[in-house]
A and B are shown apart, each in its own frame.
Chain A
Amino acid sequence: MSSPAPTPRPALAVSCEDVARTFGRGERAVVAVHGSSCEVPFGSRIAIVGPSGSGKSTMLHMMAGLETPTAGRVSWPGLPDVAERRGQIGVVFQSPSLVPALTVVENVALPLVLDGVPDAEAQERVTEALELVQVTELATQLPEELSGGQAQRVAVARVLASRPSLILADEPTGQLDRANGQHLVEVLLATAEQLDAALVISTHDIEVADRLQERWRMHEGRLKTDEAGLKRTSVPRATHADTTTAGGQR
């Protein structure tokens, strides 16, 4: 799963076409994401920034296939079909996402078990991932015995161990102090590099956003992918739905 595919794969990890997501119905309906489009090629490092409630999490969840858009289409041209895809997408959630009854090791191994990775290999990958995020000494702890920051690092380790081609991290540094947050971003970057994976991080921390190649902005449910900044390899398509510019925020 980790080895690069022998045949050249399509360059896009995920592609969103005019996706929208509405919660609730009728008068109480809340539009979390308005028609937004983007393309994430393999190897890209993207930060999505924006105020809370701007729809970052929902956007990320749709890119992960965890949430179905109410309009538009999400596709994963470079990833295998449905059955195998989940294992290829690693998600770091904003809120605690460790299984409370499993130890750190068991939590990190869980996606590997679901994928049917042989025990010996799984163990090796888990150990490696724990070392990367520097939580080896917490291996036998239960989630409730961890601090918020430690739990977040374990969640990242879980993503690393599953060796995904697309890493989506939702505010991964929210629980961490500055030093630990920076370290975590380094680890995510290094892993993405090693796996030749696409990395998308949603954050409100500009320091974190600055570490990535590209910065997209989310405002009131609209994704702007043409933010002026440190653009490099990939050039995301401008969204035709997003005609009004939100303007400088700060």
Chain B
Amino acid sequence: MISLSGAGAAPSVSSNGVTGNVEPTGSQPAAALTADRLYRFFRTGDEETLALRGVSLTVARGQTVAVVGPSGCGKSTLLACLAGLDEPDGGTVRVGGQRLSHRPEAERARLRARRIGVLMQSRNLLPHLNIRANIELARTAGRVRPRLRGATEGSSAPAGVTELLERVGLTRRAQAYASELSGGELARAGLAVALANDPDIVLADEPTGELDGDTEQHVLELLRDRAGAGAALLVVTHSPRVVAIADRVIHLHDGMVTS
């Protein structure tokens, strides 16, 4: 129940990414993430539900896209397909030009490990590892490349972890386990893990759903920071505050993009 120490935890957050109203899709040729006519069916007993009905979208590097829609519209399924955690029944997902869907799990895992950071609403941490170990594990999986982080060859991985912990304001809680953290700390720790591999693409599912305004703000700033460094950011949300910072908003209804 340790409360956040306000905005002081992230003093160096740049705000130009947030305020910039430039449409980056046109100027940036390389789409980081594309989905082409995704379909996904679910069978429960004899009933068949269509969770996704031909969803197409593109997220460019440095762009923030918010996906909104009523509960049960297929947002979470879309996110799972985009992260390669679920296989679409039809359509393709591409990450930086490489096909992610319909490939063996090992290859999808490699792409995910190197390029994608996923932030869930809850349960982002392995309960038997402390925060530092959780971050290290995510970095190991991605064999983190220095390109996006801009770090030199000399900087070793643990330094990165320390820096990451500092950025989310959890330096003092590095040895703590998930069960010992408050809601806000859990969210920030989850974010640190999602960003641990310096992803090109960050996918977040209701990252601020249970957070109060200040923590939400903090989390969003960190996410925007990431986008500012060139990552594509896709957030499934119903928070108006998240929508407010998005470069583009995609409305999903009944498994279809409505606007």
Contacts and interface: CB of A to CB of B under 8 A. Distances in A.
Contacts of B3: 51-54, 219-220
B184 A53 contact: yes
A174 B209 contact: yes
A30 B4 CA distance: 14
Contact of B4 (A53, A177, A250): A53
A205 B112 CA distance: 34
B71 A51 contact: no
A215 to B, nearest CB: 14
B241 to A, nearest CB: 10
Interface string B185-208: 100000000000000000000000
Contact of A52 (B70, B72, B184, B240): B184
Given A32-B1, A178-B240, A179-B70, 19 more contacts: A30-B1, A31-B1, A50-B212, A51-B214, A51-B215, A52-B3, A52-B210, A52-B215, A53-B1, A53-B184, A94-B210, A147-B71, A171-B210, A174-B209, A175-B209, A176-B238, A177-B70, A177-B71, A204-B213
A150 B70 CA distance: 12
B71 A55 contact: no
A149 interface: yes
- Which A-B residue pairs are the 5 nearest by beta carbons? A204-B212, A51-B212, A52-B212, A177-B238, A53-B182
A23 B214 CA distance: 23
Contacts of B209: 174-175
Interface residues on A, range: 20 to 34
Contact of A148 (B2, B71, B213, B214): B71
Contacts of A23: 1
Contacts of A204: 211-213
A180 B238 CA distance: 11
Contacts, number: 62
B96 interface: no
Nearest to A23: B1
Interface of A: 23, 30-32, 50-55, 58, 94, 147-150, 171, 174-180, 204, 219-221, 249-250
8 contacts: A50-B212, A51-B4, A94-B210, A147-B71, A149-B71, A177-B238, A219-B3, A249-B214
Contacts of A177: 70-71, 238
A150 B71 contact: yes
Contacts of B91: none
A55 B183 CA distance: 11
A58 B182 CA distance: 13
B70 to A, nearest CB: 6
Most chain A beta-carbon contacts within 10 A, residue among B4, B185, B211, B213: B213
Contacts of A32: 1
A236 B146 CA distance: 57
A58 B3 CA distance: 14
A250 B182 CA distance: 22
B49 to A, nearest CB: 12
Contacts of A52: 3, 182-184, 210-212, 215
B122 to A, nearest CB: 9
Interface string B60-78: 0000000000111000000
A102 B183 CA distance: 28
Contacts of A219: 3
Nearest to B122: A95
A150 B4 CA distance: 31
Contact of A147 (B4, B72, B240): B72
Interface in B207-234: 209-215
B136 to A, nearest CB: 24
